[in-house]
A and B are shown apart, each in its own frame.
Chain A
């Protein structure tokens, strides 16, 4: 479940920055793409879908078995497999 954040913006900035891969971001938290470790067609595909450096990504829904997960990116919702999301480096602020 996504938790609406009630904390003011100032304390948000104080939270520790977590660097991980997109598959490990908790549902509802906003992450930022920092690097893509994938190559070839899959890399091209993810770039075309909006997973470019600096893009904001939010996991919005996870399927019952935990894979795939739906991500909101650049105004659209895109479902990725865990192996694909694991190739996308992100950072987010822990809540």
Chain B
């Protein structure tokens, strides 16, 4: 049987990351799983992939990433477990991996697992992912622990404020995961189109970002979110230029 492990198996031609989400995986939608450390991200991953989990390598990267197959209602999704990070702004190797996957492999949807007991800390990553791709689903995990701490989160209000679906869950007990997969499938199929409410920066930053983004358009050719790249360039992030250069060599 052909499964996601084929991507990294010897003898296969190396898969270009830019094409990984559509060509290499025989048409299965690819869903990235992001989240802060200790949010239960791996619990979600294991619950959704069951025993079909295995480790795989993303071509061009030496650090292992976990890929698994999620089967639900006759549909198959390739789930990619990214390293747990507080940020995607590339302060560490883990953040470069997570960011490059979301940027260059362009998953069909990205789940951000957040810890309901300290939501504020986790929303930083949600906004950062949403700045790269609108196809975001928030998995509001650990709502049982939050409840024990007297924290009650209004998920529909959070979804409205963020502009993306929010699914409450207790991944350890399997609660909410069916709803999570159904929501992800709806996003993958285009039945639900998230419209993230993105941060707006100071006027001069926005003006310059727009100018740089316009200049980047012919270079990026629609493959990357140009506003996002423009903001990284303004920030002086050297790792994004390096990653783009590597993609050009690989691709």
Q: A residues touching B (Cβ–Cβ < 8 Å)?
A: 40-41, 44-45, 48-50, 74-76
* B215-251 with Cβ < 8 A to chain A: 235-236
Count, A-B residue pairs, CB within 8 A: 27
Question: Do A74 and B121 form a contact, CB below 8 Å, given A41-B91, A45-B91, A49-B86?
Answer: yes
Q: B236–A40 contact, CB under 8 A?
A: yes
Residues of A within 8 A of B236 (CB): 40
Name the distance in Å between B36's Cβ and chain A's nearest Cβ: 8
B110 within 8 A of A: no
Name the distance in Å between B38's Cβ and chain A's nearest Cβ: 8
CA distance A48 to B91 in the complex (A): 10
B117 within 8 A of A: yes
Q: A44–B86 contact, CB under 8 A?
A: no
Residues of B within 8 A of A76 (CB): 118, 121
A-B contact pairs, 16 of them (CB 8 A): A44-B87, A44-B89, A44-B91, A44-B235, A48-B86, A48-B87, A48-B89, A48-B91, A48-B124, A50-B86, A50-B124, A74-B118, A74-B120, A75-B118, A75-B120, A76-B121
CA distance A75 to B114 in the complex (A): 13
Residues of B within 8 A of A75 (CB): 115, 117-118, 120-121
* B106-124 with Cβ < 8 A to chain A: 115, 117-118, 120-121, 124
Name the distance in Å between B70's Cβ and chain A's nearest Cβ: 29
CA distance A47 to B95 in the complex (A): 15
By beta carbon, the residue of chain A nearest B92 is: A45
CA distance A86 to B236 in the complex (A): 24
By beta carbon, the residue of chain B nearest A78 is: B86
* Interface core residue of A48, A50, A74, A76 (most chain B CB under 10 Å): A48
By beta carbon, the residue of chain B nearest A55 is: B120
Map CB proximity to A onto B194-209 as digits: 1 under 8 Å, 0 otherwise. 0000000000000000
By beta carbon, the residue of chain A nearest B120 is: A74
